[in-house]
Structure formats: structure tokens, C-alpha cells
Amino acid sequence: MGIWIVNGRTAEGEKIAVLAENGVIVDIVRGDAADAVTTDGREVVDAGGRLLTAGLIDMHVHFREPGFEYKEDIETGSRSAAKGGFTTVACMPNTRPVLDKAETVAKVVARGESVGLTRVLPYGCISIGELGRELADYEALRDAGAIGFTDDGVGVQSAGMMKEAMRRAAALGMPIIAHCEDDTLLPGGAAFSVGEFVKKHGLPGIPNESEAIHVGRDILLAEATGVHYHVCHVSTEQSARLIRLGKQVGVNVTAEVCPHHLLLSDEDIPNATDANWKMNPPLRSPRDVEAMIAAVEDGTIDIFVTDHAPHSEEEKARGVERAPFGIVGLETAFPLLYTKFVATGRWTLPFVLERLTSRPAQLFGLPTGKLEIGAPADLTIIDLEEERKVDPATFASKGKNTPFAGWHLKGWPKLTMLGGDIVWSELAEKGSDEFVS
């Protein structure tokens, strides 16, 4: 019968009502006419004047299944995504086993469809075992459902191997998504960036050039091969400068940035013992943070991602030297970006939403991310006025590892619809914090 979502507002403030039926958007009514839609007995959801947007897209998450289900599994990761307003997520392949075989990719695809709370799109590995020694079978991975290739978690150290990977991916019309990190520039035991923080505490630091040197190398290789080259979690001023130059000369290079690299610098780290501030890439200098913001504003960086990386509380309690890198992000991403950049007047709401919906869909050829008739009925309702304190204990994710605990943020998702079905709702008429499927 379909569902009408009425009494919504677009990012531009226009009244809107949307009818979802048979998995797609079949009608959109805008302006004052949205107050008088004929629902014909269909189910009606009252958005209460809140923002109604296309479902959010995150092209960089870690759901840990197979192999590390104690950190996160596809079901809990999907719950976290739905609660954060995300209807499409792209999973990194550094699981155990890694996603370097068609059957492993196919299992992730099937598991995501079985859970049915968000669209789970896996990446396949660039190299077998993510060891950088032998390339995976890209055609088989693509046929099993992989949407691109990456060795996220480690950088591809050999330029020759990366060039061949790009050549093969380009032949298939598929992207290479790169974790940029030159291992020869990494001192042992380093957990934080080179800067004032490591100087103060006498620690080894991760230099900016360990990231940027791979970015520069790979842009040249992308130019030579013609592949779509996408840079993961950009964090340094030098990387942004190289990506900007690459775009200026016509290389097909795109890039992503995480909220934490837009909001936090190494000078915000409270101490040298709390591993909830340990992520890779690490928090950089205030100058790098400003460079990331500028790179978003001039189009050098294309999209926002979370790099959602859940770990167990036990692992994060091991201390900075032994704890794994990574923080969770799906349930705080939009409130962080809205509170710190939209509510403060630096960016407009459409500017932020484009980088969380239509732009990632465009980059990766996805049918989602659009609020238009005929598009998949992936929708999100967000209360821009609700202010709430970040409480990791309430996360749907198994991971509670975040440096944002206790922050007061506005702009919390209230309902998520996937393919015309309401999969999570916090609206009063649907109950509190309810996963529907």
C-alpha cells in the first residue's frame, strides 16, 4: 500500500511530502500543496516539520565480519548505520579472512541483505591477504558484489603493484580506494602525529609525509592508467595540496575526510593514555585541520565518511601503545557536522547533505542518495533542533570507542527508511529507539 511521509522539510526549508511504494519514491509534493496530500488510506508518518532527506551514504566503514564479530558484526553495524541515518555503507575488506575471494565477498553481500537494515556494499582487496605481494582476482570479486578495491588498513607499498592494480581496475571500470601510508616512514610504536603533542610527551610521531607520499605517487599512477583513484580519510595539508593539483590537471582523483579530522587536532588530545584518541590517520595539527576544511570548501575533498572502526572496550583499555587504531562514527557523524559547521553558519545544510548523499552516489555509481521520483525509497528524518549529549552507552554499535563522549550536539536522526520500509524509528508513534526489522 505504500507509506506517505508528510509534514517534512527539505534542506532548503521547503515543505515536502513523499510517497514510498514498492521500494521506490513514487510521488513528491512540495510547497503548500504538501499540507493537503491525499493519502488514500495508506500508512502515514508525520515528520513533525523535521528535515526529510535522502538516506545518508558512508563509503568507509568497518563491520568486522567475518572474523572479528566480538568488535562488530554486520547486524550490529547495520543497526548503528540505521540509527545514524545511513541507508548505504561501504565495508572495508580487512576482516579475517580478508575479502580477497569471491565467496567471501558474496557472503558479506548475502549477510547484509539478510539483516536488511542498510545497504551493505563490500570492497574487495587489492592484494591477496592485503599483503601487497599478489593481486586479487578483480573480475571475480566484482562479479561477487565488490564495488571497488582497497587494502584499507595498510598502504600498498610497491608502486609497481599499485600501477598494475590500477590498470586492471580501470579495465573493469572499477575504482581503486587507497589507504595511503608509507611503512618506511613509520617509527615503531607511534600512535600520534608528529607535532606539539608528541614533543610534549616524548613519544614517536607519525609524520605527515607518510600519508602524502603515497597520495602523490598514486595520483601519478592514476594519471598513467586512467583509473578512478579515491583517497581514503585524508588528514594532511600536503595530501590535500597534491589532490588539488591532481584535479587541476585532469586526473580522476577523488577524496574523503572524516568528521574527526575536521573537528579535532592533536592539541585536543587530553593525555597520552586514552586510546579513544588513537586513530589512523592520527589527529594532525591545527594547520592540517584548517587545510581539511578548506579542501572541503574548494571541492578538493568530495565526501564525508566516518571510518567507523569499532573495537572492544578491553582492547581500547590496553593503553595507547597496545590498543588498536580506530574510533566509531556512524551515530555521531551527522550531529557533529551539523552542530559544528551548519549551526555555526560556516556551511549550509544542503552543502553538508550533498556530501553525504548525492555526491558519494555519483562518485561510486550508486542509484541511491536522491530525493526524486523513481529513486530507491531510502529516506531519513532528522530533528535539527534536538540537542543531546553523546553517550556511548546508548550506541547501537558494539563499539563505544569515541573521543566525543559528553559533547552536546544537535541534529539527531529520528527515522530511517530503507527501500520503502521503516527500519528504525525514534518518532513517538513508532516507539522509542525501535528497530523494525
Positions annotated as catalytic residues are: 307
Q: Letter for the amino acid at 363? A: L
Tell me if 31 is assigned to a ligand binding site.
Answer: no
Tell me if 378 is assigned to a ligand binding site.
Answer: no
Tell me if 319 is assigned to a ligand binding site.
Answer: no
Tell me if 280 is assigned to a ligand binding site.
Answer: yes
Tell me if 188 is assigned to a ligand binding site.
Answer: no
Tell me if 7 is assigned to a ligand binding site.
Answer: no
Tell me if 307 is assigned to a ligand binding site.
Answer: yes
Tell me if 94 is assigned to a ligand binding site.
Answer: yes
**SS in 3 state form for the chain?**
CCEEEEEEECCCCCEEEEEEECCEEEEEEEHHHHHHCCCCCCEEEECCCCEEEECEEEEEECCCCCCCCCCCCHHHHHHHHHHCCEEEEEECCCCCCCCCCHHHHHHHHHHHHHHCCCEEEECECCEHHHCCCCECCHHHHHHHCCCCECCCCCCCCCHHHHHHHHHHHHHCCCCEEECCCCHHHCCCCCCEECCHHHHHHCCCEECCHHHHHHHHHHHHHHHHHCCCEEECCCCCHHHHHHHHHHHHCCCCEEEEECHHHHHCCHHHCCCCCCHHHCCCCCCCCHHHHHHHHHHHHCCCCCEECCCECCCCHHHHCCCCCCCCCCCCCCCCHHHHHHHHHHCCCCCCHHHHHHCCCHHHHHHHCCCCCCCCCCCECCEEEEEEEEEEECCHHHCCCCCCCCCCCCCEEEEEEEEEEECCEEEEECCHHHCCCEECC
Tell me if 233 is assigned to a ligand binding site.
Answer: yes
Tell me if 261 is assigned to a ligand binding site.
Answer: no
Q: Letter for the amino acid at 49? A: G
Tell me if 228 is assigned to a ligand binding site.
Answer: no
Annotated binding site for Zn(2+): 60, 62, 152, 179, 233, 307
Annotated binding site: 60, 62-64, 94, 152, 179, 233, 280, 307, 311, 325-326
